[in-house]
Every structure is written in C-alpha cells, then in structure tokens.
Structure 1
Amino acid sequence: MSALTVAVIATAGFSPFHFSVPCIIFGQSMPQPDLFCVEICAENPGVVMSDMGLSINVEHGLELLDTADIIIVPYWNHPEEKPSQALLDGLIKAWQRGAEVVGLCLGAYVLAYSGLLDGHRAATHWEYEQDFIERFPAVHLDSNSLYTSDERLITSAGTAAGIDCCLNIIRDHYGSAIANRVARRMVVPPYREGGQAQFIERPVPVSTRDSKMNELIEYLRRNLDKPHDLDSLAGFVSMSRRTLTRHFFRATGTTLGDWLNAERLQRSQELLETTNISIERVSEMVGFQSPVSFRQSFKARFSVSPSEWRRAFRGPAPVDVDVK
C-alpha cells in the first residue's frame, strides 16, 4: 500500500502551532515513514508569513489538491473573510473525487464557506459557536465534540483539539495501535474523554437589573446546600409563583431551576479544582440530593465525571479543608 499524501495548506498569517500539528503528526511522529507523505501547498507559492513573523518557503501551489488523499486547512485567520474562489473550488473538486477534507479549529470556516459542510456535522472553536451558527445555518454545528467526521469532511475544535482530530484520522486509516504509538511519541493521550463542554466558559450571571432578583440570587448562593422549592422562594421575595417565574426569567434569561443547577455545578467545579474534599461531600455542599444525581448532572453538562474533571483541572496543591 502506497503512502497517503497529506496536503497541508499554508495561508498568509497562519498560526505556527496550528500549522505544525498535522505536519508533525503525519510526518516525523509516525513510527514508519511509508504511511503518510506530507506536502505543503499555498495559493501563492513562495514565502508565506505567519502571524508571529515566522515564514516558510512553499514550493507547491493548489494543484496539489488535485491528487492529495487528505487535505488539511489547519487554521483561518478571520471568520468574516471569505476564502478565494480558487481555494474553495479546489476543496470542492478534491472532495468530489474522494479526498478527505479537513478543517482544524477555524479552518472549519473555510470548509463551511465552500458549502461542503451544508447538511453535515462540524466542529470549531467554542468561542466562535454563535458566529458560526449565524453565518452557516445549513451546517449542523456540534458545539461539544472535539472533532467530527462526516462523509470525508473532518473538522475539529480549537487549538489542541487539532491533535485529537489528526490522531483520529490515523486511527481510521491504520488502527489504534499506530495512533497510540504516535500519541506516545508526542507525549499526549491517544484519546481524550469528554468534549468542548469542559472548556467552555458559561458564567452564571453575577447580578441583574432587578433588585428583588439580585436579593434572591445572593440568598441562593449563600444557601446552595439547602433544598429549595418555588413556593418557599416566592415567599422569600413576596411574590406569587407565576410572578417570580416571570421576573426571574426576564432578569437572567433562564429558569430558576436551570440557574440553580448551573450555579451548583459551577461551585462544584471550584471545589473539585481547589480542594481535596471527597466527591460525596462536594455533592452535599452544593445541594444535590445524592452523589449519584450529582455525578449524573455533572456528566450530562460537561461530558466528563467529577473525578475526571478533578484530575484534569486541579492545581498542584489543593486545599485540604471541609467548608461548612
């Protein structure tokens, strides 16, 4: 079996890290040299400058897209900038003849601009989720996955997720054993649990314009460990259940139950990252009825367990306390 040709597209202002990921993974990190052949191409061959002042000398033009087995757009600088028609046409023709077309991080925008992703699943950096959805409503954006693969259209989430994506391409072509060997050489996990949800910042509103709701929010934050129901909270703010529900949604943009669950999970993240408190005690402190319900809610929101979160995000010297 001949080596698969991987064409990595260099664009003006490219990110050296993003660009190096496929070059390293499919190149020098491979356990044997006859599996992939990495070639670099650009719309305008010659010197291409990165966003950091580094430059590379590119020999091949976009004609490489006519024969490559795997074509990778490792990055794109500006989501609002539509790629040239020559690049878009080259990607379309390549996919139509059977090549795999890959967009890492914001490279997914290039595939989306081409129309190839219409009706398909895709991923991109979580910070651009809303922008991507608004620009490309025909694309099924998967906001959680680290990478997606749908009919030879492959996309990844931001930055390091490109490594996960490229390892998965190796896994698809040559199996887990080869992918695992590459991961070991790079000193990275061959497969990461969970998805982007564990990295997305979704802060719970600190305050609102409604003083009554601010008073309620402060009370709830001081008493996360206690059970709460709509009747008692309505009494706390001297409102009917219906009025409280309406005012709270207007002030926060979410329901009281969803807000409370998000606040409890956010507090649990802090405790998992900064203390040695047991999972069971964390569950109790943030107000879940049982450790089982806590684990289920945590996994549903972040796609990883509380223990996995702690291993991933806890600092080197967590505080050994039991907050009351």
Structure 2
Amino acid sequence: MDTVALAVTDGMLHFELSLAYEVFGADLTAAGIVDHWYRLVVCGPGQVRAGRFRVEPDHGLDHLPRADTVIVPGWVDVDVAPPADLVDAVRAAHDAGARVASLCTGAFVLAAAGLLDGKRATTHWAHARDLATRYPRVQVDPDVLYVDNGRVLTSAGKAAAMDLCLHLVRLDHGSSVANAVARRLVVPPHRDGGQAQFVTTPVPAPDHHPLADLFPWVMQRLDHPLTVEDLARQARMSSRNLGRHFRSVTGTTPLQWLLTQRIRHAQELLETSDDSIDTIAAATGMGTATTLRRHFNRTVGVPPDTYRRTFRSRTRPGPDGSGPPHPRPAG
C-alpha cells in the first residue's frame, strides 16, 4: 500500500484534506520512525478550491486507478450530487484493486459509485440520515467513528477522519508505527466509543403536528417512570396512533425517543454538574446507577464516568465568580 492518492474536487473540506495530507504526506523516514513510507499524490480536475485554499493537484483524476489507496475527503454541499468525473474515477480505482476510504461526507461519493451497496458505512452524524435516504442500499451506522469493510472504509466527521487515517497506518505498518504517528501529531492513537457521544438530539421544533404539546410535557417529567400509555393518555390518542405519529415526526418509537431524551439529559448533567451517577440516574428517570450505566454505555459508546472526564470543563470560577479558577473534580 505504498501510493496514497487524495481525490480532490472543488468544495472539498480543507480540514479533512489537510489532515490526510499530514498523516500520509509527512516524511517519517527522516524522523527514523519507519524505513519506508507512503508516496502521496493529489489527483483532481485541475486547480480546485478547498474552503479558502487553492489546491494544485499532481495528476488528473484518471491517475486514481494507479494508486494503492484512494482517500476521498468530504465536501461542503452534500445537497448537490457528487461530480460525475470524481465518482467515475473512484469507481475505476476500486475496480482496479485500490483500497478506497472516505472521510466525513466523502461517503456520498463512495455511495454514488455503488461501492457501499449492501455494506455498513458511516459519515458525519448530521448527514447520516441524508445518506441513508438518498442511498437506501447502504447500511448507515451513525454511531461509530469509522467502518472497515476491507477494501472500502468510511469515517465519521471531522476528527474521526484522523481515527480512520491512523487505522490505515496501523493496518499497513503496525500498532507501534501508528502510535508513533499519533504521538507526533499529539492525538490519541485510539479513541473509545463512537460518534454517538458527540451527537446532539434536540426535541423537534414546535409545529402544528399532533405531538407538539406532548414533547415539552415529557421533557419536564424525565425524572418520572413514564410509559407509552402515559404518553398516549397525555396526547389523547391510542398507543397505536401515538406510535404512528412518533414514527412520522421523530423517525423512531415513543420508548426509543424517550430513552434518547433521558440519555441526552444525563449527558447535560454529566457536563454541567457535580451530581453523582446515582443522582443523575434518578433525575433522568433511569432509577439506578446500574441502569443508567447500561443504557448510557450502549447508546453513547462510553461509560458515564468516561464521558464526564471527556466533556466537562476542567476548571470553574471561584465561589464569588471571580479570581483564579479552582480545579473541578472529574468525579
């Protein structure tokens, strides 16, 4: 897997593009980390723009089939179909035997090329539903950092691109080299959990749908042991009718939506309070710390304590709101 080609086009996300360039384009032989490293080339249809930057490719897109690995960064406007020449070139590279990996919304290119049909894949959580809707043959998993299908790989958004790039290095050069690359870039060689821990799950905006009054009522009672019957009674409809409206408005069932809101509230409390796990379990209607930990770990991908250490502020102001900050316990 010596030659890595970055497939670029206008509108590419410069963060993912630069990240891949840094991982695969650095001369690690000079640093004594490896005896040989990748040969990185940039392929595109002439000069392209990535954000506010201009990129001058080394070769045209027709050079992609000569690469061992093709990296497809994401781009900004996913509402527009990927450029046909890029899609065709990526498909041709795969047909020629190249390993193809997408970063963030680059998954839309792989899906358009048919490379994700019948396969599990991921993308940035904010675009996962769009990917699944547009390409129903793709098994979209919005909760993971990356998916490895062998010769076809996809990553979630932004920093998850680094996770996938390090995974490719680990496959090609082993864990010790991947760890050395991670240390050089001052990033963790492996992150626990998936992108579920970064996903926001807001309540649908108020509207004229039949559940508009129910949502705020539930959010004020998350510490109560609510049932589907309770929700149906409040909404003045049968449980079956409630389920139908929930599926239409939220895309899920009443119980799954309720669990999601409880987990999200637990995330907020873990981020903003010093409350114990038992207290948070009670405040979110989970009952016990054991129940909260089980559902939280399954949904978010990491235990509540790990989530708190990762996402809460490490400092806070003194008691009077001024002066030097005091350490905040990770609890």
TM-score when scaled to structure 2? Answer: 0.82
1:109-258 aligned within 5 A = 109-205=108-204, 209=208, 214=213, 220-228=218-226, 237=234, 243=238, 246-247=241-242, 250=245, 253=250, 256-258=254-256
Q: d(CA) in 1 for partners of 2:184 and 2:310?
A: 21
CA RMSD, 1 decimal: 3.0
Q: 2:40 is matched by which residue type in structure 1? A: V
Do the aligned partners of residues 144 and 261 (structure 1) sit closer, same or farther apart at CA in structure 2, a change above 3 Å counting? Answer: closer
The more displaced of 286-295 and 196-205 is: 196-205
Q: 1:83 is matched by which residue type in structure 2? A: P
Q: d(CA) in 1 for partners of 2:258 and 2:155?
A: 32
Q: d(CA) in 2 for partners of 1:73 and 1:231?
A: 48
Is 1:32 equivalent to 2:34 in the alignment?
Answer: yes
Q: d(CA) in 1 for partners of 2:168 and 2:100?
A: 11
Q: Structure 1 residue 151: deviation in Å?
A: 3.2
1:309 is matched with 307
Q: 1:272 is matched by which residue type in structure 2? A: L
Partner-residue secondary structure (3-state), 1:55? strand
Q: d(CA) in 2 for partners of 1:212 and 1:16?
A: 41
Q: d(CA) in 2 for partners of 1:125 and 1:33?
A: 35
Q: Structure 1 residue 66: deviation in Å?
A: 3.0
Q: Deviations for 1:284-305, whole angstroms, at most 9, x for unmatched residues?
A: 2222221111111111221121
Q: 2:37 is matched by which residue type in structure 1? A: L
Q: Structure 1 residue 83: deviation in Å?
A: 1.9
Q: d(CA) in 1 for partners of 2:112 and 2:229?
A: 51
Partner-residue secondary structure (3-state), 2:264? helix
Count of residue correspondences: 311
Q: Deviations for 1:241-281, whole angstroms, at most 9, x for unmatched residues?
A: x7366458637656554443233222211110011222222
Q: d(CA) in 1 for partners of 2:61 and 2:39?
A: 16
Partner-residue secondary structure (3-state), 1:49? strand
Q: Structure 1 residue 184: deviation in Å?
A: 0.9
1:48 is matched with 48
Partner-residue secondary structure (3-state), 1:13? coil
Is residue 194–residue 304 contact of structure 1 (8 Å, CA) maintained in 2? yes
Partner-residue secondary structure (3-state), 1:58? coil
Runs of 4+ in 1 over 6 A off after TM superposition: 210-213, 230-235
1:81 is matched with 81
Is 1:21 equivalent to 2:19 in the alignment?
Answer: yes
Q: d(CA) in 1 for partners of 2:209 and 2:81?
A: 40
2:275 is matched with 277
Q: d(CA) in 1 for partners of 2:127 and 2:94?
A: 25
Is 1:292 equivalent to 2:287 in the alignment?
Answer: no
Q: Deviations for 1:100-136, whole angstroms, at most 9, x for unmatched residues?
A: 1111111111111111222222211111122211221
Q: Deviations for 1:22-43, whole angstroms, at most 9, x for unmatched residues?
A: 1101122743361211111212
Q: Deviations for 1:16-62, whole angstroms, at most 9, x for unmatched residues?
A: 21111111011227433612111112123xx333221x223323223
Q: d(CA) in 1 for partners of 2:61 and 2:235?
A: 68
Is residue 29–residue 182 contact of structure 1 (8 Å, CA) maintained in 2? no
Q: Structure 1 residue 192: deviation in Å?
A: 1.1
TM-score when scaled to structure 1? Answer: 0.84
Q: d(CA) in 2 for partners of 1:272 and 1:261?
A: 16
- Any stretches of 5+ residues in structure 1 without a counterpart? none
Is residue 273–residue 314 contact of structure 1 (8 Å, CA) maintained in 2? yes
Is residue 122–residue 140 contact of structure 1 (8 Å, CA) maintained in 2? yes
Q: d(CA) in 1 for partners of 2:49 and 2:232?
A: 61
Is residue 76–residue 109 contact of structure 1 (8 Å, CA) maintained in 2? no
Is residue 264–residue 286 contact of structure 1 (8 Å, CA) maintained in 2? yes
Q: 1:224 is matched by which residue type in structure 2? A: L
Q: 2:82 is matched by which residue type in structure 1? A: K
Is residue 65–residue 98 contact of structure 2 (8 Å, CA) maintained in 1? no
Q: d(CA) in 2 for partners of 1:66 and 1:238?
A: 58
Q: Structure 1 residue 12: deviation in Å?
A: 1.8
Q: 1:316 is matched by which residue type in structure 2? A: R
Percent of paired sites with the same residue: 36
Residue in structure 2 matching 1:7, options 1, 5, 8 = 5
